[in-house]
Structure 1
Amino acid sequence: MRTAVVIGTGLIGTSVALVLAGRGVTVHLRDHDPDRARTAAALGAGTDEVPGETVDLAVVAVPPAHVAATLAEAMRGGTARGYLDVASVKGGPRRELEALGLDLTSYLGTHPMSGKERSGPLAATADLFEGRPWVLTPGPDTDTEVLNLALELVSMCRGVPVVMDADAHDRAVALISHTPQLISSMVAARLENADETAVRLCGQGIRDVTRIAASDPGMWVDILTANPGPVADVLAGVAADLDETVGALRALQSADEDKRLGGAGAVEAVLRRGNAGRARVPGKHGAAPAAYETVAVLVSDRPGELARIFADAGRAGINVEDVRIEHATAQQSGLVQLIVEPQAAPVLASALREQGWSIRT
């Protein structure tokens, strides 16, 4: 691949362009907002000049509702030898393209499973896709050359290619991405008019659950509009669980001991089902989830504290598998939770105590 056009210079499009430009590909940037294309170009993602000839690959990075029209325009104009899109919904855009009567041998729908709460070219980074699944949904008529171009792009971005059927992809992302976004937003919405005293008690649990609620609503309306059926199906199941759990909690208020016992059992059942589902989420490097232990360290909010902790852990010969930070309310301190293998936890705790760190259990 020597030349490319990236159409849509938001977070994903600009991140793709940064990778390609960094690998020596001549990248031409297009956007319905010329200022965004110029911003991406200023970041080193390519040039906003129109290509003088057909390029090797066109990457369409626009919202799902606009994918088909954007691709159709590019195809009819002979923009590239191969075309792919990076939208988060795959079945609908392909059916729209088929309805337009276009030759889809040069097209491949893809979806890099990566993103941020922030959007726009200024949020883009060349490492956005590293180690992340990148779904490819070739059709029966997809040309091998286009598939190879897509695989080359994924390799440049250091993503992990995953081949799926387009509709199976849409059902999957409804479960693991689109529904969680809505539920996160619904939980966060409970905080909007909550008493200030309650909000000041927020800890890491509510921060974890509501993190993605900070995402751009306009972007998510576009995504959900393109995949409403599968998302509604998942939410219907969640709604059934909610109704059952509400009933169980009401039963716990009953004066009837049998009702209270039944309510407790139902609450425990949904919590245990949650345990079982959470255990299926892939762990480090995509392997089966491992059992880890946490060493919590009290740190002050001063420059260099995290670096010192990791340096001390390294000197103790401990590999930190993951890290979380829980900030203390109204204090210049917080807890750094170091996630390690069980046998390493006591060794790490002892080593850090020797270095003067305050360990919390």
Structure 2
Amino acid sequence: MAETGRLVGPVEVVGTGLVGTSVALACRRAGLEVLLSDRSDEHVRTASGLGAGRARRPDDRPQLVVVAVPPDALGPVITAALAASDAVVTDVGSIKARPLAHVLEDPAAARHASRYVGSHPMAGSEHSGPLAATETLFEGRPWAITPHPGADVGAVELVEDLVRVVGAVVAWLTPEEHDRAVARISHVPHLVSSLVAARLAGAPDNHLSLSGQGVRDVTRVAAGDPRLYGQIVAGNAAAVGELLVELRGDLDAMIAAIGADERGDLEQLLEVGVAGTRAIPGKHGAPATATVSVFVTVPDHPGELARLLADAVASEVNVEDIRIDHDTSRPTGLVELVVDERSGERLLVSLESRGWVTHR
């Protein structure tokens, strides 16, 4: 078996899309040798041209193989990687129980299952392909490691080392718990976003002209590849289906409350939603803190956004988040600066003193 417990390379990345190429770039930044393989030679050439590594040769012996392929291909590619060398194998797929079952149900692969440790970085984009990759994609982001009971301790340590090398934060879950968690915080939100976005398809232009940042926030993830998300949801059908049934119950209750003009029932449902937003961890995993938004009108001219951010820095207020809503009818944009609620008034006064038009 290959050396484990300390990642020295080479690292082979199988699948040079957004996530795979980002893993490769982060490993290269750390000085590790990276080997690239993909069904698409063009993707390998592109990733290599970006500095993510080189194409794998038959005589290469990777220490760690990172499988970064679509969900439907995870099981077969993982078993092939276990058979091809004595390397530790992990994957970065968004479902964990089904690939593990595929390994354990294959007699040849099951003999090497101790070298397989599933994992999943909670980072990505609605964009895809190697050109969308970045070496900083995982910095500060949770990365789940989901070892099964038969996993070798050294193999688990090697995957943990990979997570730290790319700058992510380790989260430990079982494969089954991981799948329930991502159904709740990723898969079902994506499906709901898609349903909301579908209400916009074919909508009259005079309706769409009223669009603001709110609808963009809700529908952003709906722009993801339908084929990929179809595979993801199918691979996690039980957990996703259970949550959708719960959601359907709440939706029925909301429709009934609206139809009967039961304001109290409706407000109670909305209050639970508010509680849910507060449950989302804040920066660095700390409890979320109360924030306020300061809105600033910014002329659509070169350098204006940079000037606003410089003035925000000069006010000595930490900006927690920033959003931009473009005004389609005027040559301006509306920038939302999200700050701790104790700093809102200070930022407002500071920016107004520098000539900015602001409001809450």
Does the TM-score normalized on the shorter chain lie above 0.5?
yes
Paired position in structure 2 for 1:168: 177
Matches within 5 A, 1:65-144: 65-78=72-85, 80-101=86-107, 102=110, 103-144=112-153
Residue 311 of structure 1 pairs with residue 282 of structure 2: no
Paired position in structure 1 for 2:17: 10
CA drift of 1:251 comes to 1.1
Instruction: Tell me which stretches of 4 or more aligned residues in structure 1 moved more than 3 Å.
Output: none
Contact 1:2 1:24 in 2 (8 A): no
Q: Which amino acid aligns with 1:65?
A: D
Q: Which amino acid aligns with 1:323?
A: I
Paired position in structure 1 for 2:5: none
CA drift of 1:267 comes to 0.9
CA drift of 1:332 comes to 1.8
The structure 2 residue matched to 1:184, chosen from 193, 218, 231, is 193
Give distance in 1, aligned partners of 2:58 and 2:307. Answer: 50
Residues 298-307 or 233-242, more deviating: 298-307
CA drift of 1:329 comes to 2.4
CA drift of 1:249 comes to 1.4
Paired position in structure 2 for 1:259: none
CA drift of 1:81 comes to 2.1
Classify 1:233/1:304 alpha carbon distance in 2 versus 1 (closer, same or farther; 3 Å).
same
Residue 31 of structure 1 pairs with residue 38 of structure 2: yes
Q: Which amino acid aligns with 1:209?
A: V
Percent of residue pairs bearing the same amino acid type: 43
1:16-59 deviation line (CA, Å, top 9, x unaligned): 01111222211111111111111111111111141523211000
Residues 4-13 or 344-353, more deviating: 344-353
Ranges in structure 2 where 5+ consecutive residues have no aligned partner: 1-7
Residue 199 of structure 1 pairs with residue 205 of structure 2: no
Contact 1:65 1:93 in 2 (8 A): no
CA drift of 1:2 comes to 2.3
Give distance in 2, aligned partners of 1:279 and 1:343. Answer: 17
CA drift of 1:117 comes to 0.4
Paired position in structure 1 for 2:3: none
The structure 1 residue matched to 2:29, chosen from 14, 22, 29, is 22
Contact 1:28 1:51 in 2 (8 A): no
Contact 2:348 2:359 in 1 (8 A): no
Paired position in structure 2 for 1:340: 339
CA drift of 1:244 comes to 1.2
Give distance in 1, aligned partners of 2:84 and 2:339. Answer: 55
Q: Secondary structure of 2:73's partner?
A: helix
Q: Which amino acid aligns with 2:45?
A: R
Q: Secondary structure of 1:55's partner?
A: coil
What is the count of residue pairs matched by the alignment? 350
Q: Which amino acid aligns with 1:190?
A: R
Give distance in 2, aligned partners of 1:357 and 1:51. Answer: 61
CA drift of 1:316 comes to 2.1
Give distance in 1, aligned partners of 2:12 and 2:312. Answer: 46
After superposition, the CA RMSD in angstroms is: 1.2
Paired position in structure 2 for 1:60: 67
CA drift of 1:105 comes to 0.8
Residues 308-317 or 212-221, more deviating: 308-317
Contact 1:178 1:231 in 2 (8 A): yes
Contact 2:295 2:358 in 1 (8 A): yes
Paired position in structure 2 for 1:47: 54
1:332-360 deviation line (CA, Å, top 9, x unaligned): 21211112222322222111111111112
Give distance in 1, aligned partners of 2:60 and 2:258. Answer: 66
1:42-93 deviation line (CA, Å, top 9, x unaligned): 1111111415232110000112221111111121121x42110110000011
Q: Which amino acid aligns with 1:40?
A: A
Q: Secondary structure of 2:36's partner?
A: strand
Paired position in structure 2 for 1:258: none
Q: Which amino acid aligns with 2:200?
A: L
Q: When the two structures are superposed, what TM-score results if normalisation uses the length of structure 1?
A: 0.94
Q: Secondary structure of 1:298's partner?
A: strand
Ranges in structure 1 where 5+ consecutive residues have no aligned partner: 253-262
Q: Which amino acid aligns with 2:282?
A: G
Give distance in 1, aligned partners of 2:260 and 2:345. Answer: 43
Q: Secondary structure of 2:298's partner?
A: strand
Paired position in structure 2 for 1:232: 241
